[in-house]
Amino acid sequence: MEHATRELAPILVHQVSYLWLIPAFPLLGSVINALFGWQFERAGKKKLVHVVAIGAMVCALAVAVRAFLQMYGMDAEHRFLQDTLWNLLTAGRLTVDLAFALDPLSMMMVLIITFIGTLIHVFSVGYMWDDVEAYWRFFTWLNLFVFSMLLLVMGDNFAVMFFGWEGVGLCSYGLISYYYKDKEKAVAGMKAFIANRFGDFGFIVGMLLLFWGLGGGWGAMLGARGAAYEPTGSMNTVASASTASESKALAPQVEVGEGKVVKIGPTLNFRELRDQVVIEKTGVMEHLKEQKLWGIGLLALIGVFLFVGAMGKSAQIPLYVWLPDAMAGPTPVSALIHAATMVTAGVYMVARLNFLFALAPSAMGWVALIGAVTAIFAASIGFFQYDIKKVLAYSTVSQLGFMFIGVGVGAYWAGTYHLLTHAFFKATLFLGSGSVILGCHHEQDMRKMGGLSKYMPVTRWTYLIACWAIAGFPWASGFYSKDEILWKAYTARHLELFGVATPWLGPVIYLVGIIAATGTAFYMFRSYYMTFSGTYRGGAGHHDEHDEDPHAALAAPHHATSAHPRDGAMHAIAKAQEEAAHVAHGHDAHGHAAHDDHAGHGHHGGTPHESPLSITFVLTVLAAGAVLVSLLGIPTAWTHAAPILEHWLEPVLVAEVPFAEKPQWMEFLFQAIGVGAGVVGWAAARALYKDDAQHEALEAFKQRFFAAWTVVYNKYYVDEAYQKVVLAPALAFARLMSWIDSNVIDWLVNAAGAVTRLVANFDGLIDKYLVDGAVTAVANLTLESGRGLRRFQTGRVQTYLYGIMAGALVLVLFNFVIR
């Protein structure tokens, strides 16, 4: 579908003064809980902790809704609310403000974050109440995370966004390592943090390249770049300014008609960047397109580096490895951070900079390709996982891949829409799994579950609805977003890879995507049937078999190669700790009505139970949301009007990406294929896993392709590969450096010290004998001469008279002699 060429004008800013409240409330909540939370708990007012946290979230949500209503009442072109707090930095033409901006895209993100964030806070009350760790610490981090995430999406410029970008990484680390006494979980936090650092490096590089490409530079480099870029004649002059207004006056501006001017040149501000790039009159777009760095188009390079940042934050190949491990955090954290919000930051960033990515087909092709590979790769790992949260983690990685296919092929609104629908259904799934884990007494292994639909009806139904959504069945939201993405991928013909046009890439990505979608339906329904159908497999004594390795029964020799025994052992330790914790604080401490029913049976041997109201309520709301958001994206083919969300995002997603025109029946056909893929995956899962089916075909398959199965089961040994390829060399290098440090560097330092001492001693000698000697000699000379001369000063006038007479005599004699 070809976009009509739009005449683009600069964004009209509407200043409002309350936007800062949105991030301020969670920050305030976080600060209160950080400072006083432990006192609340000690004083027996544990409730106050979550009252503060949820109160902050509700306030933020209220302000966000207020902003939405204001924005909704405005014309589409005017939907840009800005709130500038203060100036952070002024240097030359560059000014960076602490400013928040809301346009339709960030408005959507803010609503997702505050709405789902609030719900997950409520859920956390039920989930974390019995926790023996510091309750207040959890809510402090959770609120702080929401604050950072809001900064990330609301930031008016790269600086504020980057602050949020780093902040969410930090909070993610703090929450994954929440049970920091368990070393495995602490390490998972570190892994997430370090993997994110790699991405952040790419983000910074991309950001600075963009800054440089726009004409920012450091004096000496200016001449090196072509001189063609002189739209106002004074682009490359370096001038100084100390205040924001001076800086504004320095910035070169271009008249773009109707009396409007656009500031051009290096900037970190999204609005200024967008204005100068999308308005052709400024000439910035041509300039950026022409620029090359090391023979590569600068725009492609910027796109790729920014995408590296997105890879880290949004868990794409090869930096996805941290996300599955991040499941070590409490389940609400997985739902909020590692499904609904933080991991979508990369998608958000690409959508925010859509006008830049659209200029670089190579970068787009790269993004879409990585997204597609990630989608199918992670989906295949999800097939054979037994930990319910791990399945969801790989599913998240896979779904993020879908989002990147969307934003990669240029269907920015579709990628963003998938972000929205995914936020709902994946939050439902994660919270559902949290409810299951709670109901099964902190059991995460799906082999120990089964038959839960009897015990947990609400959880079951919400989980099922979310499975429908993610599998892409009509009338549940995933269908609309996923099919839109795949359809756009199929019709994309403009993608390039490394500067080579690759019109085949779109259809290939479509094929990969549809296979991944089939896989998605399969593993999601697999998890559903393993968990909720059949009979309950948990119960007394199940801890004994906890260390069971899935290979052990099949092939003992493989036991040694598997990474699993270690995991099992770790798991057992964690289990034992949990058990101890539960025993320690007794069952009555639960305090929930829902728990009362198993007062009579032992905690671990007991039947599963439905979760408290705070959890089921949240699940219901989110599941309803997972269905209702589908209304926002009913495809054009059905209604002959742009989907509501596409229309809403139109002012932001200005990039014009050409898609091939295809007949409408084809779009319907592709939707049917999408549904078919979901059905195939569902049918396969149903046949293989429903009602505890121990299918012989499955076992036979496993036996037959045991090598392949092992590889997939062990997640393609990617972690081990990282261990060998990245970690081991890094550690070896570190050891080498340590050796060099202690032997070579220290030796050099010592040698330098010794030489310095030698020189100093020599210098001291010179000082002592030569310089001091000279000084003393002068003093002594003066003293001696004074001692000699003072005899002449007798104080007697007559002596002096002799002198006068002698002098006169000498003068007279001279007079005679000279004559």
Residues of the shown chain interacting with other proteins in the complex, contacts defined by CB under 8 A: 790, 793-798, 801-802, 805
Q: Which of residues 238 and 801 has its CB atom nearest to other proteins in the complex?
A: 801
Element (H, E) at 146: helix 135-154
- Least separation in angstroms between residue 796's CB and other proteins is 6
- Least separation in angstroms between residue 812's CB and other proteins is 13
- Least separation in angstroms between residue 768's CB and other proteins is 35
Distance, in Å, from the CA atom of 394 to the CA atom of 399, rounded to the nearest integer, reads 9
Dihedral through CA 725, CA 731, CA 733, CA 737, nearest 10?
170
Burial class (CB in 10 A: 0-12, 13-18, 19+), 305: buried
Residue-wise DSSP of 295-362: TEEHHHHHHHHHHHHHHHHTT-TTGGGHHHHGGGS-HHHHHIIIIISGGGHHHHHHHHTHHHHTT-HH
- Least separation in angstroms between residue 817's CB and other proteins is 22
Q: Which of residues 640 and 790 has its CB atom nearest to other proteins in the complex?
A: 790
Give the 3-state secondary structure of residue 602. coil
- Least separation in angstroms between residue 790's CB and other proteins is 5
Residue-wise DSSP of 761-814: HHHHHIIIIIIHHHHHHHHHHHHHHHHHHGGG--S-HHHHHHHHHHHHHHHHHH
Distance, in Å, from the CA atom of 195 to the CA atom of 199, rounded to the nearest integer, reads 7
Q: Which of residues 242 and 798 has its CB atom nearest to other proteins in the complex?
A: 798
Q: Which of residues 708 and 806 has its CB atom nearest to other proteins in the complex?
A: 806
Q: Which of residues 15 and 794 has its CB atom nearest to other proteins in the complex?
A: 794
Left (φ > 0), alpha (ψ -120 to 50) or beta: where does 103 sit? beta
Which tokens go with 737? 């450096």
Distance, in Å, from the CA atom of 297 to the CA atom of 499, rounded to the nearest integer, reads 8
- Least separation in angstroms between residue 810's CB and other proteins is 16
Measured CA to CA in angstroms, residue 433 lies from 126, 397, 468, 524, 745 at distances of 14, 17, 15, 12, 54
- Least separation in angstroms between residue 813's CB and other proteins is 17
Q: Are strands 14-15 and 81-91 parallel, antiparallel or unpaired?
A: parallel
Burial 548-562 (b: 16+ CB within 10 A, else e): eebbeeeeeebeeeb
Q: Which residues pair with 99 in a beta bridge?
A: 84
- Among 127, 18, 2, 129, smallest CA distance to 66 is for 18
- Least separation in angstroms between residue 811's CB and other proteins is 15
- Least separation in angstroms between residue 782's CB and other proteins is 16
Distance, in Å, from the CA atom of 733 to the CA atom of 736, rounded to the nearest integer, reads 5
Q: Which of residues 665 and 792 has its CB atom nearest to other proteins in the complex?
A: 792
Which tokens go with 47? 């409730």
- Least separation in angstroms between residue 808's CB and other proteins is 10
- Least separation in angstroms between residue 792's CB and other proteins is 10
Dihedral through CA 172, CA 178, CA 179, CA 184, nearest 10?
20
Q: Which of residues 791 and 819 has its CB atom nearest to other proteins in the complex?
A: 791
Q: Which of residues 672 and 806 has its CB atom nearest to other proteins in the complex?
A: 806
Q: Which amino acid is at 373?
A: V
Q: Which of residues 640 and 791 has its CB atom nearest to other proteins in the complex?
A: 791
CA atoms within 13 A on the CB side of 644: 9
Q: Which of residues 736 and 801 has its CB atom nearest to other proteins in the complex?
A: 801
Distance, in Å, from the CA atom of 732 to the CA atom of 93, rounded to the nearest integer, reads 46
Radius of gyration of the chain, Cα coordinates, nearest whole angstrom = 36
Element (H, E) at 154: helix 135-154
Q: Which of residues 5 and 793 has its CB atom nearest to other proteins in the complex?
A: 793
Burial 426-455 (b: 16+ CB within 10 A, else e): bbbbbbbbbbbbbbbbbbbbbbbbbbbbeb
- Least separation in angstroms between residue 795's CB and other proteins is 3
Q: Which of residues 694 and 798 has its CB atom nearest to other proteins in the complex?
A: 798
Q: Which of residues 4 and 804 has its CB atom nearest to other proteins in the complex?
A: 804
- Least separation in angstroms between residue 814's CB and other proteins is 20
- In 391-441, where do the E strands start and end? none
- Least separation in angstroms between residue 794's CB and other proteins is 6
Q: Which of residues 640 and 787 has its CB atom nearest to other proteins in the complex?
A: 787
